[in-house]
Amino acid sequence: MSATTGAQGWAQLRDWLERRLSRNAPRQRLTLRNLYILPNAFGGLWLAGAVVLYLVGINTSSNGPLLLAFLCLGLFLLSLFLTQFNLQGLELAITQPSPGFASELVAYPIQLHSTRERYLVRLGFRHQPLLVHPLVGAGSSQLSPCWRPSRRGLQPPGRLKLYSKAPLGLFSCWCYWEPPQPQLIYPAPVPGPVLEQWQPQRDRAGGSGLLQGDGADELRELSPHRREEGLQRVAWKQLARGRGWQAKRFQAEASSERVLAPDPQLPLERALEHLCARVLELSQAAEGFALHLPCRRLPYGSGRSQRDAALEALALEGQL
């Protein structure tokens, strides 16, 4: 019972310290009020070695070990100030982060402003890969630590830890900062079925119905079959003749607009992931499309602007 109580007390103390040390201002200047420093493992061994040398010198009445002990102690105390001076005065600021995809490493740019050179600066978000910068020059520079978002939408990257052990490696000096600027995260692109329909161009301003691409119109061409198109487009005669999986394209598609929508038979999040993959595929092929979602509709278009607008709509669907 006492062990459980002690573990809970330590966890509460650790959470309180993390909240106390966190900073969520858009700009952070490292000063004595938000920098923290402690000896690391190597520093502890160094100090223990100095104590051993001192004891050896006392017991043997020898000046050599005593001089080495005082020298090690002096370097230890000097390292305390040099390590903190390596970070003190450094300014952190937020720049506009670029969008990324869920479940992938996304770069979050941090602007550093320094009046002098800094050495071996390490920074990274909690439980994310560390970014090591050997030298931060005087002036402005940009570092981009990465993090892996688990879901779509406007997501904050979490708590950033910046620390350094330079120049002697005996102390670790660090600070915490929580950038308030969220980053736009698109759904993870996962190929799969989507609801793909065709709308006549004459009804673009508010037509009544959607025409399925596999209707009874005149056959225009055959093209390789895509998995997300389902079985209704498969050219079964060509498949029976051993010509592989082909999809039927109809003449109505040449004068119609492709409309993408989530598959109603799938959960919304999975359907949005499939739509994301389909949007990227159509954009890469320079094909136009419209996007109909439960909470918003994107008119027909093509090109990079259409792709970015569609991805943003998928990312923010149901969240605004």
* pLDDT tens, residue order, the chain (320 aa): 456 676 777 777 666 655 555 556 788 999 988 899 999 999 999 999 999 999 999 998 889 999 999 999 999 999 999 999 999 999 999 888 999 999 999 999 999 999 999 999 999 998 888 899 898 999 999 999 999 999 999 999 999 999 999 999 999 999 999 898 999 999 999 999 999 888 776 444 444 444 434 444 555 556 666 655 555 566 666 666 666 666 665 555 555 788 999 999 999 999 999 999 999 999 998 888 999 999 889 999 989 999 999 999 999 998 75
In a domain, 226, yes or no: no
Output the six-digit token pair for 140. 């402005």
CA distance 102 to 284: 20
In a domain, 166, yes or no: yes
Whether 156 and 207 map to the same domain: the answer is no
Output the six-digit token pair for 86. 């390596």
Residue type (1 letter), 293: L
In a domain, 117, yes or no: yes
Full residue range of the structural domain in which residue 117 is found: 18-183
Q: Please, how many CA atoms are within 13 Å of residue 229, restricted to the half-sphere of its CB?
A: 20
Whether 172 and 284 map to the same domain: the answer is no
Whether 142 and 206 map to the same domain: the answer is no
Output the six-digit token pair for 151. 């879901």
In a domain, 312, yes or no: yes
Cis-peptide into 167, omega within 30 deg: yes
Question: Do the Cβ atoms of 245 and 236 come closer than 8 Å?
Answer: no
Whether 158 and 209 map to the same domain: the answer is no
Whether 120 and 199 map to the same domain: the answer is no
In total, how many domains does the chain have? 2
In a domain, 82, yes or no: yes
CA distance 162 to 118: 12
Whether 32 and 164 map to the same domain: the answer is yes
Whether 176 and 294 map to the same domain: the answer is no
Given 161, 183, 205, the domain boundary residue is 183
Whether 292 and 173 map to the same domain: the answer is no
In a domain, 5, yes or no: no
176-182-187 Cα angle (round to 5): 125
Whether 199 and 288 map to the same domain: the answer is yes
